Amino acid sequence: MTFGGGSTFWIYGGRGADDELLSDLFVFDMAEEQWSQPQALSTPPEPRENHAACFVADRYLVVSGGTNDDGEVLDSISVYDVMTANWQAVGSSLARVSHRLINRGGVMYILGGDGDDKLPAEPVALASET
């Protein structure tokens, strides 16, 4: 996902070169064509893949759902504050994998993907306070 006027691309989690599940956060500066790893002053969410993320209020990176190393579908929602470099667990939603998370007009929407029952999941609107 892009942030900062579209000049950076942020990636959280996924799988590393040795196939281990990651809880790392990386930023690619498209103007400089360079990768960096932002500082995290608190513990990040558990490693995951097939999750969704979006920015809220040009400051908060929201990470939702995905699967852990055991293949369990996660329902957790965590936020990384780019100003304070802190992660915070902010709650949960329906367990979801391979979905999209978007923010429109102060409301985040979880779209698509599958639930923990492996069936297509219905869209969910989450109130987001910025």
Strand partners, 29: 8, 34
DSSP-derived letter for residue 49 is B
Mind listing the pLDDT tens digit for each residue in 59-92? 999 999 999 999 999 999 999 999 999 999 998 8
Q: How confident is the model at residue 118 (pLDDT cuts 50, 70, 90)?
A: confident
Structure confidence at residue 44 (pLDDT): 96
Q: How are beta strands 60-64 and 76-81 bridged, if at all?
A: antiparallel
> What global pTM score does this model have?
0.88
